[in-house]
């Protein structure tokens, strides 16, 4: 969690200095694209590495190597020569290094806890990330005033170093991986082939991609709702921005309590149905606190969906394919760059409220159709 908090602190500093240099909102969008594109391009390939090599070692290397672009930034910043293209290139470099991190971090959980405790383990992992998502940006805003942009980057480097050293002491359950293939691209195709023939996992992957394109980037448009619809100003915007994270944390208590008692496939279907419905209701809400509640429910649905999906992959995917399957799922993080364009176009043509509601409706139709076609053929006791 320390590394995640540091990353969010660095992200606030990055966008602050970028806007100071350029004064352009488009520049901020380019930085977001530069960060997401490597995950989309390299994310699936990274799964082969996760399955080939020791996952703990890969995670440690990612923490240490990630310090390199930060050190380069600090050097350029110290000499007063920083330009926007430096930020963009370093963000692409950093994103390329970190592309392997989500798959490795989520795949290693099955080596740390018994299968019966996977739901709790994944929930705890997600709680930590959401706490970081709430605390990190707030801390970053304060630290910019206290220690400056360079200090924020240095703090991130320190958090990565501490995280990497801490991982050296983690003990994992060693399992011998049967390696019958050494052809990189054939191994890469194996991951997609397995997902294609695993209906529950395929359903969660398609739903994740659909969410990424039609749902997830809605938060970029919350300033419009705060100013034009709800008329609450910057303070109200802060509450709206925090609501999904708080709802996500609250939802994990529910998931931890249900454990293995509920059908995971049906829970997955339920979350992909209710999340876009709550977003559509938010778009129609003229009342501030009702809007906050609906955003919390949207966040709860998003987090619950990803948590259940990860547990399903941890339980169903073979150990020697875990990294590749997880990397296919995590491609949704890169597809958020496409989602930003789709929601932006929809909001431009139809207005923010109607545009986001229509996008959510498309998500609901796609996921309902996919789950009906794929999971409708499954036995009632599946997953």
pLDDT tens column, 319-362: 778 878 888 888 887 787 778 778 878 887 888 889 899 999 99
Residue located via tokens 């419905």? 277
Interatomic CA distance for residues 107 and 55, integer angstroms: 8
Mean pLDDT lowest for which of 12-21, 51-60, 124-133, 323-332?
124-133
Interatomic CA distance for residues 43 and 337, integer angstroms: 14
**pLDDT range class, residue 266, cuts 50, 70, 90:** confident
pLDDT digits (tens, 9 = 90+) for 32-67: 677 777 877 777 677 777 777 788 888 899 999 999
Across 268-295, b (16+ Cβ under 10 Å) vs e yields bbbbbebbbbbbbbbbebeebeebbbbb
- Angstrom distances, CA of residue 229 to CA of 48, 77, 166, 222, 234: 47, 40, 46, 10, 13
What are the residues whose beta carbons fall under 8 Å from the beta carbon of 197, sequence distance 6 or more?
A: none
**pLDDT range class, residue 262, cuts 50, 70, 90:** low
pTM: 0.70
- How many CB atoms are closer than 10 A to CB 315? 16
For residues 20 and 111, the model is more confident at 20
Mean pLDDT of the 135-159 span = 85
* Per-residue confidence (pLDDT) for residue 382, from 0 to 100: 44
Average pLDDT, the chain: 81
Indicate the burial class of 235 (C-beta count within 10 angstroms; 0-12, 13-18, 19 or more).
exposed
pLDDT digits (tens, 9 = 90+) for 286-299: 999 999 999 999 98
* Per-residue confidence (pLDDT) for residue 379, from 0 to 100: 47
Mean pLDDT of the 220-226 span = 76
């Amino acid at each position: 969690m320390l590394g995640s908090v540091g990353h969010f602190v660095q992200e606030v500093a990055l966008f602050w200095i970028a806007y100071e240099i350029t004064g352009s909102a488009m520049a901020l969008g380019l930085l977001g694209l530069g960060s997401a594109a490597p995950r989309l391009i390299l994310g699936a390939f990274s799964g082969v590495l996760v399955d080939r090599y020791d996952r703990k070692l890969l995670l440690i290397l990612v923490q240490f190597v990630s310090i390199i672009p930060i050190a380069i930034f600090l050097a350029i910043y110290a000499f007063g020569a920083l330009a926007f293209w430096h930020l963009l290139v370093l963000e692409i470099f950093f994103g390329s290094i970190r592309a392997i991190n989500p798959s490795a971090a989520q795949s290693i959980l099955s080596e740390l806890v018994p299968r019966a405790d996977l739901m709790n383990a994944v929930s705890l992992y997600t709680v930590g990330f959401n706490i970081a998502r709430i605390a990190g940006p707030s801390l970053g805003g304060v630290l910019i005033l206290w220690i400056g942009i360079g200090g924020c980057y240095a703090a991130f480097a320190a958090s990565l170093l501490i995280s990497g050293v801490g991982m050296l002491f983690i003990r994992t359950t060693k399992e011998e991986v049967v390696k019958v293939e050494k052809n990189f691209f054939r191994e890469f195709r194996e991951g997609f082939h397995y997902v294609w023939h695993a209906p529950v996992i395929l359903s969660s992957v398609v739903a994740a991609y659909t969410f990424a394109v039609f749902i997830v980037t809605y938060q970029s448009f919350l300033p419009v709702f705060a100013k034009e619809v709800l008329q609450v100003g910057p303070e109200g915007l802060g509450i709206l921005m925090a609501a999904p994270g708080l709802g996500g944390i609250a939802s994990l208590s529910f998931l931890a309590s249900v454990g293995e008692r509920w059908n995971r496939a049906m829970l997955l279907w339920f979350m992909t149905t209710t999340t876009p419905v709550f977003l559509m209701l938010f778009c129609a809400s003229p009342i501030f606190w009702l809007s906050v509640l609906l955003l919390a429910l949207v966040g709860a649905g998003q987090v619950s969906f990803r948590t259940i999906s990860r547990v399903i992959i941890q339980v169903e995917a073979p150990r020697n394919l875990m990294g590749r399957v997880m990397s296919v799922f995590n491609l949704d993080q890169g597809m958020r760059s496409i989602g930003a364009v789709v929601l932006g176009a929809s909001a431009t043509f139809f207005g923010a409220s109607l545009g986001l509601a229509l996008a959510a409706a498309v998500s609901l139709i796609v996921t309902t159709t996919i789950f009906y076609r794929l999971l409708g053929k499954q036995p009632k006791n599946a997953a």
